Structure 1
């Protein structure tokens, strides 16, 4: 399938992307690298009309949307994008409201905030909003951007629960259906900072066909045509490839018991590195062998 849209999935804390700072201008110097080279700047650059693009910030995943939404508007405005508004969808009926759907149809970019990905999918999944979102992503020059919960929900399979410390105990990682914008991957966020590699290991060993993507904070992937991934932001992306797993005790142990896995392949990406989902080949931009 030829997908015209782009995905920008972010591990959370977009330096911050949602700004926790109460005085943006006062704290601008420490965020200068973010403003000039960071993820939101790249989002604007990749969008159809650049700074003039129509951007809708969608706060559905958050329990504090009144606080989160304006932070994104402020951050995007600082970067020159002023055609931005907030869609606070808190009930399924709103995801079928004519005005809300019209705003989605007119958008060049949607930015899904962090929060609870299960809240996001349970409110939007199976609605007209969900259908239009997928149609726009496939057929238009359109960007779906999501941070934290918004990133985790982008794939067909979605991790929604699981203790980091007990993630390699059978049954501790909970998976359900996501929004289905990209197949063949499963995404976890706040990955390095919260030690979630075990969650991704268990998700992948249960179905080694799926590529595990672990996004660090202030780190993301730009995915074009549903296949080409480029690392953006300041941190690390961990990829877990289970296709070469040789053995596991997954089906032999009881729930709550440790899982063994033999020969799980991992890759570590940093800014500008690329990965092809068709060939499973990674290219290090600043390779020491070039």
Structure 2
């Protein structure tokens, strides 16, 4: 992401509700808003170019109930005093070339891609004029691409679109295709903790160890800036899978459907405010048990163990 001016905010979805998942959709918007407690939607607004005044466009292409999901996002952002929000209903490829749609994209400070089916998202938008403008804005403007669930999975150059959790470490069980290409050399999986998808990332990374696997837990996201710095946001976990140190595997020796062995795969676990650098591959834990807060050090230096509190007074 060198020389990229835009920011990515990718979100893993939510537990049962939140992000207006189609399985547990609730007509009462307040019941769908797990993100408020974790601050992810608020962070989208605060990171945007004009804050609460920023122009946000909700892209519901991945969803099979776009007309229900879109208005709920408008209500959700309104709870956070962001009212300059619209919904772009792009359900066919020709709509991704519509001049009015393209002009609205050009004027947007933030686009928010909803959950659903990431293959539907990429098959409709991939290679269109809409896609070209999206990539150009992300590279050259103070612009935010935010995506939850399918919208997050589709952000990278390659994306997982199929693969069972229980059989993910059997050769050939994980299916990968091209994503929207906003970020290179990573692959993103969502609903990661609740659905037990770590095996899907393992197989993806062992097939190309240059790729960094990112697993987003529920109610959890990553803020990724143009310098390659990733910050965990939200209440859950982010899993980073680094295959650069892999020593051995049987990937090319076993038949399809057989278990895969991997020696020396590196895994990091991030929680809120932790950071990871995609260039140096270094992780920093915000509340490390091995770092002494500055205030505690000062208090220790100021205190004289030989002098009682009464004497100091």
Bin for the TM-score computed over the shorter chain = over 0.9
Q: Shift of residue 37 of structure 1?
A: 4.7
**Secondary structure of the residue that 1:221 maps to in structure 2?**
strand
Partner of 1:117: 118
- Give me the whole-angstrom Cα distance separating, in 2, the residues matched to 1:138 and 1:47: 15
Contact map agreement 2:57 2:88 (CA 8 A) in 1: yes
Partner of 1:89: 90
Q: Shift of residue 21 of structure 1?
A: 3.7
Partner of 2:224: 223
**Secondary structure of the residue that 1:115 maps to in structure 2?**
coil
Please give the root-mean-square deviation of Cα atoms over the aligned residues, in Å: 1.5
Contact map agreement 2:29 2:72 (CA 8 A) in 1: no
Partner of 2:20: 18
How many residues align? The count is 286
Distance 1:126 1:226, change over 3 A: farther
Q: Which 4+ stretches in 1 moved above 4 angstroms?
A: none
Query: Deviations along 1:66-105, whole A, 9 cap, x unmatched?
Result: 1111111111111111000111101110001100000000
Partner of 1:56: 57
Q: For structure 1, which runs of at least 5 residues remain unmatched after alignment?
A: none
**Secondary structure of the residue that 2:231 maps to in structure 1?**
strand
Matches within 5 A, 1:264-275: 264-275=265-276
**Secondary structure of the residue that 2:181 maps to in structure 1?**
coil
- Give me the whole-angstrom Cα distance separating, in 2, the residues matched to 1:258 and 1:211: 21
Partner of 2:303: none
Partner of 1:130: 131
**Secondary structure of the residue that 1:214 maps to in structure 2?**
strand
Partner of 2:208: 207
Query: Deviations along 1:204-245, whole A, 9 cap, x unmatched?
Result: 000000000000011000001150100001100000000011
**Secondary structure of the residue that 2:286 maps to in structure 1?**
coil
Partner of 1:172: 173
- Give me the whole-angstrom Cα distance separating, in 1, the residues matched to 2:212 and 2:69: 31
Distance 1:36 1:79, change over 3 A: farther
- Give me the whole-angstrom Cα distance separating, in 2, the residues matched to 1:207 and 1:24: 41
Bigger radius of gyration among the two: 2
- Give me the whole-angstrom Cα distance separating, in 2, the residues matched to 1:229 and 1:94: 33
Distance 1:202 1:191, change over 3 A: same
Contact map agreement 1:6 1:226 (CA 8 A) in 2: no
Partner of 1:35: 36
Query: Deviations along 1:174-210, whole A, 9 cap, x unmatched?
Result: 0011000000100000000000000000000000000
Partner of 1:77: 78
Contact map agreement 1:18 1:75 (CA 8 A) in 2: no
- Give me the whole-angstrom Cα distance separating, in 2, the residues matched to 1:130 and 1:24: 30
Deviates more, 1:148-157 or 1:217-226: 217-226
**Secondary structure of the residue that 2:221 maps to in structure 1?**
strand
**Secondary structure of the residue that 2:94 maps to in structure 1?**
helix
Contact map agreement 2:61 2:90 (CA 8 A) in 1: yes
Q: Shift of residue 135 of structure 1?
A: 0.3
Partner of 1:106: 107
TM norm structure 1? 0.95
**Secondary structure of the residue that 1:70 maps to in structure 2?**
helix
| 1:254 and 2:259 matched | no
